[in-house]
Chains A and B, each alone.
Chain A
Amino acid sequence: MATVTYDKATRIYPGQDAPAVDNLDLTVEDGEFLVLVGPSGCGKSTSLRMLAGLEEVDTGAIRIGDRDVTHIPPKDRDIAMVFQNYALYPHMTVAANMGFALKIAGTPKAEIQRRVMEAAKLLDLVEYLDRKPKALSGGQRQRVAMGRAIVREPQVFLMDEPLSNLDAKLRVSTRTQIASLQRRLGITTVYVTHDQIEAMTMGDRVCVLKDGVLQQVNTPLALYDKPANVFVAGFIGSPAMNIATFDIVDGKAQLGEASVPVPTSVLSAVSAEDSSTLTIGFRPESLVPASSDNGGGGIPVTVDLVEELGADAYVYGHPTGPAAAEQVERMRSEAVIARVEPRMAPNKGDKVVFAVREGESHFFSAKTGERIEP
């Protein structure tokens, strides 16, 4: 068991100016399941590979427990990795694949056999031990890759998008299996994914990266409730948060006909940074239909599409009114999305005025994108 510490770790690929991972400071607690998430090219895989020893660390250091592993070869780091394409040795049986690292390390045969059998039982692979990987289904291969990692009994598990090659249904069930397995084994795990639902459902904590820079680390719910900046706000949550830049007029946020109340503490923060605009975000479930003529309050929207999910219905619309074009331009999201009661959903083409539930708006500086706490 061990903690993992990135200490200002930086990776710059040869021939490139911008670092792939930029001064990453991050501590993973003992036994924690930490998910690295972000859009493609954000440096999440590179961060993981730096920890694995497959990628050099240009500046800074990486520690596992108290041990500085920055320049130690992969095999001596006491880690095990699950690859996106599983990377099973095609010429070896399942059992040989799982026990291979132990064999190379010179572990006695009986001990290897015992540990492979143990892992196989845990993963429901006993009847496949003599097969070659090509005779297995995708889900089984995935489990063998997991087994190969478990057999090593490492201090840290590294997983690089291990579910991305499974079909949607299997992905959901394997997701819970991996999470519960990790909790049972209690081994520190760093898990990379681009899928924010995976991140939210599996991680004890989630670390959001963008362009090689750490954006925010916190529990899934904290990320959802208090995103640290506009990027995290837009990235976490499905459907995505509605985000737009509003003008401050008479103590209210105004954008065309849309208007949102702003607390005074936020207003003073905006004037303190000498700005007259404010980025506001609100989640689909924070929008409620308001009476259509309430004297300029709320956000008038024309409905483009209604997504009926049974328990919920989501309205996808675009702003209406004389200033619609400007409103669309200032929006970060493609549409205004609102969750509504499925039995009372509006029809396509209807005009609806939405109001933001009190206290559920997220405010961000229009200049820096950082969160302004009301």
Chain B
Amino acid sequence: MDTAEKLIQMVLAIALFAGAMGLILMLVGRVRRRADIVQAFAFIVPAILLLAIGLIYPALRTAYQSFFDRTTEAFVGLANYQAMFERDDLLIVLRNTLFWVLVAPVTATVIGLIYAVLVDRTRFEAFAKALIFMPMAISLVGASVIWKFVYAHRPDQQGIEQIGVLNQILVWLGFEPQQFMLNAPLNTFLLIAILIWVQAGFAMTVLSAAIKAIPQDIVEAGRLDGLYGVKMFRYVTVPSIRPALIVVLTTISIATLKVFDIVRTMTGGQFETSIVANEFYTQSLVRGNYGLGAALAMVLFVMVIPIVIYNVRQMRKADIR
């Protein structure tokens, strides 16, 4: 680091501190008595400090680094961001991320919802729910290892048996075994399936609880009004659990954007399967391109923010109700 950069960092740190202090003083300004001020400080300062060290400073620093070259020495302006939209390999990363966000949350939620409705009030409900919720207890790495076996491929030669379920089924049906992980863009969707497998259980649990919270008399009123089956689902069940649906969708969306373990474990981001979170790791820690890594992290950050804001808004609305 040269002197100029150190200076900038120092200014940044001071600004951060001043901002935090200003916030505290503004809050304190509302409080009159002296004892209250002391008490307010005692409660707020540790939290502000921890947030500043663990969250605010790293975020600002990452943002700052994203404007520098691979060794974070020379200022390059928006070159890193520009590269993301020009380099073919990075465009594929963005495209894949889009696939993930578009497919995983909706599919997992729909599967969870249908499952929750189907097993609701059946005799084997507890067992059926445990079955689909189980994957939630497995780490994404563990889940990926399991699915590696599902997708595993052995060359189609005499005397060699398939060890992957999917390929064995293909062989039984008389097809040739496929190298699933090598075929883009199919391989991305096969990876998405793993996340859906894990998240559907989460969706099912939350939505099932929401369905059970629908007042019985509203369901009965629906029956008197002529609602059965699909119509009941459409006019009573879904509107009644709308807040829960939104929470589930946004939560899974955030989890999807941040997903890293699956891609890392299954393909390491090769064969055109990389996504932003994985590429950020690869660029920063494998290729040593800190500037580009930071820029990727910023993009991820920017993509998550609107979902978080929407989620918080919805929750606040629910609170008012």
Q: Which residues of A contact B (CB under 8 A)?
A: 52-54, 73-75, 79-81, 83-85, 87-92, 100-101, 104-105, 134
Contact = CB atoms under 8 A, between A and B. Distances in A.
Contacts of B222: 89
B240 A90 contact: yes
A73 B223 CA distance: 8
B217 A104 contact: no
Nearest to A81: B224
Determine which residue in B217, B235, B242 has the highest number of CB atoms from chain A within 10 A of its CB, and name it.
B217
B130 interface: no
Given A85-B215, A104-B227, A105-B226, A91 B239 contact: yes
A91 B240 contact: yes
Contacts of A73: 223, 228
Contacts of B321: 134
B226 A101 contact: yes
A75 B227 CA distance: 8
Contacts of B227: 104
A83 B242 contact: no
A87 B240 contact: no
Contacts of A100: 225, 235
B226 A89 contact: no
B224 A74 contact: yes
A91 B217 contact: no
Contact of B225 (A53, A84, A85, A101): A101
A15 to B, nearest CB: 15
Given A89-B239, A134-B321, A104 B231 contact: yes
A134 B235 CA distance: 18
Contact of B223 (A75, A91, A134): A75
Overall SS of chain B's interface: helix
B307 interface: no
A160 B34 CA distance: 59
Contacts, number: 57
B208 to A, nearest CB: 20
A373 to B, nearest CB: 43
Contacts of A52: 220, 224
Nearest to B225: A101
Given A54-B220, A81-B221, A134-B321, A87 B215 contact: yes
A75 B224 CA distance: 5
B182 to A, nearest CB: 48
Contact of A83 (B221, B226, B236): B221
B10 interface: no
Determine which residue in A52, A91, A134 has the highest number of CB atoms from chain B within 10 A of its CB, and name it.
A91
Contact of A104 (B215, B218, B225): B225
A326 B167 CA distance: 89
Given A91-B239, A104-B226, 15 more contacts: A73-B223, A73-B228, A75-B224, A83-B217, A83-B221, A87-B215, A87-B217, A87-B218, A87-B221, A89-B218, A89-B236, A89-B239, A100-B225, A101-B225, A134-B321
Nearest to A49: B220
